[in-house]
Amino acid sequence: MKRCNVVRVLFSKEQAKVLETLGNRCAALWNAANFRCRQAFLKGEPVPSYAALCSEFKEHPAYKALPSDIAQEVLKKLRKAWDSFFACLRLWKKGKLEKRPGLPRYWKDRRTGKRLVRLIPVKSPRSYSLDARALSLTLPADLREKHGGRLVLCTKGVLRFHGQPKTLELRYDPVRKRWYAHQVVEVPEPARPARPEKHAAVDLGARVLVALAIEGLDRQLLFSAREVIKDFLYWTNQIAGEQLKLNRTGKKTSRKLRRFYQLRARRLRHAFVALAAEIVRILKRFCVTTLFIEDLTGIREDMDFGPKNILVHNFWAFRMLRNLIEAACARAGIKVVPMEPRGTSSRCAVCGHPVRRPVRHKAVCEKCGKLWHADANAALNILLQGSSKGHGAEATPQKPLAYRWNRHRWVSRFESAAGTLKAASGSRTAA
């Protein structure tokens, strides 16, 4: 299984220049090879393969200006970009994409026409070494003498995964003006101890991000979207304010604006990563082996749109949350099974009769009269769909346990009550 270590790379002024030179040369090679591919595509000829590109560009000055391990990797990346372009094109032809995908672009600023320094890919650990303190990199022949053979940069961050090192990418973040190293590591699959089958199910939504039902547990867990959306809205307003300011001066974008976009996305992702981790922690505690997850294709029809529809317009947010939950489960050795959402929120989880929805978040069974939290009911229904054993929550539904995001971690109602109590008593003693 492949994992990725990300660390920040620190540099002196002189080293920054070297990185920029390298990045610029990568862009030069990318653009030259991409021009060749685009011409071939537009003329209706086959786009050259990776091997063809390598042999064709071997004598090219842009190729020769780079160490071969970097130059080859640039060409490989370009070919991959073309592969995904063709994959998108096939989807578009089947009518599964709204817009026709664009050709792989040049690494070039459209306005100024200058080359963009984006990334420096390094093929194999033959040409680099990365440990907890430093990253060392081979240099092209003409730079070698001046810098003593190799470029040695200090790193900041933790290498989370250990295993066989594969390729490495140095990426430039133009908003933060920082370089980051992304290292791929081949990690051995964790051995899974044989455990008895136990099931759980999650339902994704806009007001309650995740409703979690676990087999044999008589109360469901709900993760509220409230704080997450509040934070998202705050940064959306900041973005709007900055855009207004830019409009007045006639500009389109600024570094500050891009920074706000980045912050908003990162803060959302932080909440989601923590949510996925919390879910997996709970699943492990209850020794769950299989998680049923609602398929997202139906989410729009059956969805509570939430305040200002904010996360639905940003539909990718749900895909991201789902992917993060899946990835976290994979790491913990929990199987994830996607389920078709078939009226999961319109039937009673105990007797299967239709439910009434007096208010959005409540569901009342018309036959047995049970009062459900709508999302908890949906999660139980998904669990029922997937598991033949039933969910073991046939008794009167208990009030579900609510979790909220405190911008640091997900806390349950009890925990947060205890926290405020402690804080209150603490402040009293301090006073």
Measured from the CB of residue 347, what is the shortest distance to Zn ion in angstroms? 8
Q: SS3 for 25-80, per residue?
A: HHHHHHHHHHHHHHHHHHCCCCCCCHHHHHHHHCCCHHHHCCCHHHHHHHHHHHHH
Cα three-residue angle 294-300-301, rounded to 5 degrees: 95
Comparison of 351 and 423: residue with beta carbon closer to Zn ion: 351
Could you tell me if 50 and 36 are in contact, meaning their C-beta atoms sit under 8 angstroms apart?
Answer: no
Smallest gap from Cβ 370 to Zn ion, in A, equals 5
Q: Is the CB of 197 or the CB of 366 nearer to Zn ion? A: 366
Q: 351 vs 421, which CB is nearer to Zn ion?
A: 351
CB nearer Zn ion, residue 67 or residue 397: 397
| Cβ-based nearer residue to Zn ion, 180 or 372 | 372
Residue with tokens 């398929």: 295
Q: How many CA atoms lie within 13 A of 255 on its CB side?
A: 5
CB 27 within 8 A of CB 116: yes
In terms of CB distance, is 348 or 378 closer to Zn ion? Answer: 348
268 near 228, Cβ under 8 Å?
yes
Build a one-symbol-per-residue string for 249-278: x at contacts with Zn ion by CB under 5 A, - elsewhere. ------------------------------
Least Å from the CB of residue 204 to Zn ion: 23
CB 160 to Zn ion: min, Å = 47
Cβ-based nearer residue to Zn ion, 367 or 407: 367
Nearer to Zn ion, 69 or 203 (CB): 203
**Site string (34-53) toward Zn ion, x via CB under 5 A:** --------------------
Among residue numbers 351 through 370, which ones bind Zn ion (CB under 5 A)? Answer: 351, 365, 368
Q: What minimum distance in Å lies between the beta carbon of 312 and Zn ion?
A: 29
Residues 311-350 that bind Zn ion (CB under 5 A): 348, 350
Q: Which two tokens stand for residue 248?
A: 């007045």
Minimum Å gap between C-beta 367 and Zn ion is: 5
Least distance between Zn ion and beta carbon 394 (Å): 10
Minimum distance of Zn ion from residue 349's CB (angstroms):
8
Given CA atoms 13, 17, 18, 22 in this order, what sign does their dihedral have? positive
Dist CA 347 CA 340 (whole Å): 15
d(CA 428, CA 222): 32
As given in the structure block, the two tokens for residue 401 are 């346990």
- 240 is a site residue for Zn ion (CB under 5 A): no
Please state whether 44 falls in left (phi above 0), alpha (psi between -120 and 50) or beta: left
Residue 408, Cβ neighbours under 10 Å: how many?
Answer: 9
Residue type, 204: L
Torsion, Cα of 243, 249, 255, 257 (10° steps): -10
Residues engaged in binding Zn ion (CB under 5 A)? 348, 350-351, 365, 368
